């Protein structure tokens, strides 16, 4: 009996143990499938806010660019950023990517065999870490791309073709590659899933990703049926991303000034140094050539006026209801006269009072008729005339990819003001100009004599516009006369060759020359070097908001000839170069680079490209690699020009990557002039290839 009980007990025990094991197997969490990405895939092309991906071997390549250190701009290659940060090596591996908000001042550095580049600003950033899932976070097994051109890797075998027919929604984790591509194409035309854009900042720095179901729309909204967009009240916004509003790097359309500068640089002639030749008499002038890129739209518009235009509409109480109606009529007439269309001007309106708000952006309406009808429906906001606040709002929020900014078109703001602003405009307008916005003012019914004591900035127009020549400002004595300035204003905003604030390679840099003044150069050759410096300088648009020039001369010691903020006109800069006196002495190039970094480039404006052009004729008595590396890490783009006995290895160490595009050598000082056009062309080519929002 006892033996039977014991046998029964063991039988029950073994049965329970087996059942428990089977239950454990059934409830065991499925293994995470990690999708593979290509070496060139940029973080910004992937919609998922957090994901784990596998990088293939061999991604450590200079062509897969990285921008930043520790925190990277989303324009960077995911895999190369992971190698740069030390998460993986060139054999590949898993990487955890977390999207975070964009910021300014991405710092370049050299780490783990990868050179990352500096970048002033970008709309979105990301962090990389070891490819292990975080607790409580669900990761997608298939990545969702913002464009159908990207390569999404399938995580499961294809479903039968008949299962896909008639399907309207596509789960990115379960559909075939064909369905994924179709979904990507539809999302590109009509996005229904929340996507990280410059106008949609993430709520946290480590968002929890989820695998969402997206239903691609089968119809694309046309401009003729689009209702007036609701006003977006200004709120605390993130820092403006980008020196220039968003550029589609895949587009063949570039700003006319960029293309013309590179083309002109390839053919311009620079005078060599000749006895009796007047210094500073050489150079070239470039002209813009419109190259519009048509978009899909009902109206192509006036193709001779391809600008992205924002009107700041005065909605303050001071204007009154009747004059507000006259202002709307004027804006409607402007829309008609401009010839709104996808290949011509695009126009949006921001109304300001106490706070600014967007009535509609650049992509809301793509023809003059619909735009005029929408303008008629605008309701007055009321409040004060806070123009400065409105300019800051436009600078940070209006000219973005998400709002229809085209990148290849100049950005123009026309400010309508009844009387005078009730806040300061100087600082806000300066930041807008430095971001490439061309500011026009239309002032109506200026302050009466008894009212002038209440004006905060009596000369606010001159402090705000791009140039004080009168081209950027129109004063109208009465709102009833406003219709008379429609055609003059259209002519001005469409004259793209005179839009001086548009960002180009010629007006967006702080350029510091580091000049060898050692005894081996000699007085005559030193004057030839100065002409070389002048020939380069005179091709840039020089002012306190455009390109600025500084110069350092060195021997054993260093001397600051003039700083970036010393001269604000081209003629003053050329005169200052002419006055530089030859020093004579030894050659400590490394110390000179450190000195230039501290005395020149540390004072550079954050939204300016920092360019150092160093000219030397011999080997340095000190090390150049460490100071040059420090300059590169601080965002300085270095060009080295060697003459006669200059050491090629030092020139390459000084130059930014790739060295062959940033380092030059001539056998004689008299041949320096031959590299002026090449240097200008390389500077412009590099500027044009840099990502911008």
Q: Is residue 667 part of a domain?
A: yes
Do both 434 and 385 map to the same domain? yes
Do both 568 and 683 map to the same domain? yes
Among residues 498, 518, 543, the one where a domain terminates is 498
Task: State the distance between the two ends of the chain, measured CA to CA, in whole angstroms.
Answer: 87
Q: Which is nearest to 49 in space by CA: 193, 215, 169?
A: 193
Do both 327 and 356 map to the same domain? yes
Supply the pLDDT for residue 546: 81
- At 42-71, the pLDDT tens digits run 998 899 999 999 999 999 876 778 888 899
Supply the pLDDT for residue 7: 62
Q: Is residue 53 part of a domain?
A: yes
* Cβ-based neighbours of 159, under 8 Å, separated by 6 or more: 175, 176
462 vs 184, higher pLDDT: 462
Radius of gyration, CA atoms only, the chain: 30
* Cβ-based neighbours of 691, under 8 Å, separated by 6 or more: 67, 73, 75, 119, 122, 247, 249
In this prediction, residue 519 has a pLDDT band, given cuts at 50, 70 and 90, of: very high
Supply the pLDDT for residue 242: 34
Q: Which CATH number characterizes residue 582's domain?
A: 3.40.50.410
Determine the Cα angle at 287 with ends 282 and 291, to 5°: 150
Among residues 482, 498, 514, the one where a domain terminates is 498
Does the pTM surpass 0.75? The reply is no
Q: Is residue 23 part of a domain?
A: no
115 vs 83, higher pLDDT: 83
Q: Report helix angle 320-338 to 368-376, nearest 10.
A: 170
Q: Are the CB atoms for 387 and 417 separated by under 8 Å?
A: yes
Determine the Cα angle at 582 with ends 284 and 616, to 5°: 65
Q: For residue 658, say if its preceding peptide bond is cis, omega within 30 degrees of 0.
A: yes
Point out the least confidently predicted range of 75-79, 287-291, 510-514, 645-649: 287-291
Q: Is residue 384 part of a domain?
A: yes
Do both 522 and 538 map to the same domain? yes
- At 575-611, the pLDDT tens digits run 999 999 999 999 999 999 999 999 999 998 877 889 9
Question: What is the extent of the structural domain holding 403?
Answer: 308-498
Supply the pLDDT for residue 309: 95
Residue 155 has a CB neighbour count (10 Å cut-off) of: 17
Q: Is residue 21 part of a domain?
A: no
Do both 473 and 550 map to the same domain? no
Do both 526 and 494 map to the same domain? no
Supply the pLDDT for residue 656: 92
Residue 129 reports pLDDT greater than 70:
yes
6 vs 660, higher pLDDT: 660
Q: Is residue 63 part of a domain?
A: yes
In this prediction, residue 510 has a pLDDT band, given cuts at 50, 70 and 90, of: very high
Distance CA 611, CA 545 (A): 16
Q: Is residue 216 part of a domain?
A: no
Q: Is residue 29 part of a domain?
A: no
Do both 66 and 118 map to the same domain? yes
| Torsion angles phi and psi, residue 380, rounded to 5 | -70, 135
In this prediction, residue 94 has a pLDDT band, given cuts at 50, 70 and 90, of: very high
Beta strands in 547-649 (DSSP E): 548-554, 558-562, 609-616, 636-643
Q: Considering its fold, how many domains does the chain have in total?
A: 3
Residue 412 φ/ψ region, left for φ over 0, alpha for ψ in the -120 to 50 degree band, beta for the rest: beta
The encoded tokens of residue 323 equal 């004059």
Beta strands at 663-666 and 93-101: parallel, antiparallel or unpaired = unpaired
- At 290-314, the pLDDT tens digits run 344 443 345 788 889 999 999 999 9
Supply the pLDDT for residue 565: 92
* Cβ-based neighbours of 635, under 8 Å, separated by 6 or more: 105, 107, 108, 118, 610
In this prediction, residue 39 has a pLDDT band, given cuts at 50, 70 and 90, of: very high
Do both 549 and 629 map to the same domain? yes
In this prediction, residue 136 has a pLDDT band, given cuts at 50, 70 and 90, of: confident
Do both 494 and 535 map to the same domain? no
In this prediction, residue 556 has a pLDDT band, given cuts at 50, 70 and 90, of: very high
Do both 517 and 666 map to the same domain? yes
Among residues 141, 162, 189, the one where a domain terminates is 189
Do both 334 and 467 map to the same domain? yes
- pLDDT > 90 in the chain, percent: 43
Distance CA 564, CA 602 (A): 11
Supply the pLDDT for residue 148: 41
| Torsion angles phi and psi, residue 17, rounded to 5 | -65, -45
Q: Are the CB atoms for 553 and 580 separated by under 8 Å?
A: yes
- pLDDT > 70 in the chain, percent: 70
Q: Which CATH number characterizes residue 116's domain?
A: 2.170.130.20
Do both 492 and 577 map to the same domain? no
Q: Are the CB atoms for 103 and 71 separated by under 8 Å?
A: yes
Supply the pLDDT for residue 32: 74
Give Cα separations from 367 to 62, 253, 295, 654 (angstroms). 44, 21, 12, 52
């Amino acid at each position: 009996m006892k033996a039977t009980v014991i046998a029964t007990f063991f039988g029950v025990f073994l049965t329970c143990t087996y059942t428990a094991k089977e239950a454990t197997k059934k409830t065991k969490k499925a293994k995470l499938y990690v999708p593979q990405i290509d070496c060139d895939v940029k973080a910004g092309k992937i919609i998922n806010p957090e994901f784990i991906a596998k990088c293939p071997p061999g991604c450590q390549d200079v062509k897969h660019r990285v921008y930043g250190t520790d925190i990277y701009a989303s324009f960077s290659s995911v895999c190369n950023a992971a190698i740069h940060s030390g998460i993986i090596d060139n054999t590949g591996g898993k990487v955890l990517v977390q999207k975070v908000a964009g910021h300014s001042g991405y710092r370049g550095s050299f780490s783990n065999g990868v050179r990352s580049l500096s970048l002033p600003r970008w709309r979105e950033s990301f962090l990389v870490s070891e490819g292990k899932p975080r607790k409580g976070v669900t990761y997608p097994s298939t990545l969702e791309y913002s464009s159908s051109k990207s390569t999404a890797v399938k995580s499961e075998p294809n479903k039968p073709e008949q299962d896909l027919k008639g399907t309207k929604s596509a789960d990115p984790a379960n559909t075939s590659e064909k369905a994924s591509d179709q979904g990507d194409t539809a999302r590109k035309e009509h996005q229904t899933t929340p996507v990280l854009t410059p106008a949609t900042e993430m709520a946290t720095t480590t968002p929890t990703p989820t695998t969402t179901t997206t239903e691609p729309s089968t119809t694309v909204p046309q401009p003729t049926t689009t209702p007036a967009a609701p006003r977006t009240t200004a709120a605390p916004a993130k820092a403006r991303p980008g020196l220039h509003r968003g550029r589609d790097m895949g587009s063949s359309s570039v700003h006319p000034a960029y293309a013309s500068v590179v083309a002109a640089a390839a053919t311009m002639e620079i005078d060599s140094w000749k006895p009796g030749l007047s210094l500073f008499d050489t150079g070239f002038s470039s002209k813009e050539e419109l190259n519009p890129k048509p978009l899909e739209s009902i109206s192509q518009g006036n193709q001779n006026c391809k600008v992205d235009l924002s009107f700041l509409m005065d909605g303050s109480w001071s204007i009154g209801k009747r004059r507000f109606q006259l202002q709307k009529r004027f804006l409607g007439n402007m829309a008609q006269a401009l010839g709104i269309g996808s290949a011509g001007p695009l126009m949006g309106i921001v109304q300001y009072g106490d706070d600014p708000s967007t009535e509609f952006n650049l992509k809301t309406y793509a023809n003059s008729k619909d735009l005029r009808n929408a303008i008629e429906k605008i309701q007055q906001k009321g409040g004060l005339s806070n123009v400065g606040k409105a300019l800051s709002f436009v600078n940070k929020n209006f000219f973005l990819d998400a709002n229809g900014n085209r990148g290849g078109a100049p950005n123009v703001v026309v400010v309508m003001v009844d009387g005078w602003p009730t806040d300061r405009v100087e600082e806000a307008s300066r930041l807008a100009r430095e971001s490439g916005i061309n500011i026009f003012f239309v002032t109506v019914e200026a302050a009466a004599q008894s009212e002038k004591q209440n004006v905060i900035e009596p000369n606010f127009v001159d402090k705000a516009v791009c140039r004080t020549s009168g081209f950027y400002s129109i004063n109208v004595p009465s709102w009833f006369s406003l219709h008379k300035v429609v055609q003059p204003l259209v002519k001005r905003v469409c004259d793209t060759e005179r839009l001086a604030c548009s960002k180009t390679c010629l007006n967006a840099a702080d350029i510091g020359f580091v000049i060898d003044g050692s005894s081996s150069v000699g007085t005559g050759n030193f004057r030839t070097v100065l002409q070389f410096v002048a020939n380069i300088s005179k091709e840039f648009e020089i002012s306190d908001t455009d390109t600025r020039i500084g110069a350092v001369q060195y021997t054993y010691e260093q001397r600051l000839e003039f700083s970036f903020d010393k001269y604000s006109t081209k003629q003053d800069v050329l005169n200052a170069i002419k006055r530089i006196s030859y020093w004579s002495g030894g050659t400590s190039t490394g110390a000179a680079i450190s000195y230039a970094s501290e005395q020149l480039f540390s004072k550079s404006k954050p939204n300016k490209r920092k360019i150092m052009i160093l000219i030397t004729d011999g080997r340095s008595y000190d090390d150049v690699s460490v100071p040059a590396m420090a300059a590169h890490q601080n965002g300085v783009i270095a060009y080295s020009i060697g003459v006669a006995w200059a050491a090629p290895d030092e020139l390459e160490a000084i130059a930014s990557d790739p060295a062959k595009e940033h380092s030059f050598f001539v056998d004689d000082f008299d041949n320096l002039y031959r590299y002026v056009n090449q240097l200008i062309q390389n500077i412009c080519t590099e500027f044009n290839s840099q990502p911008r929002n």
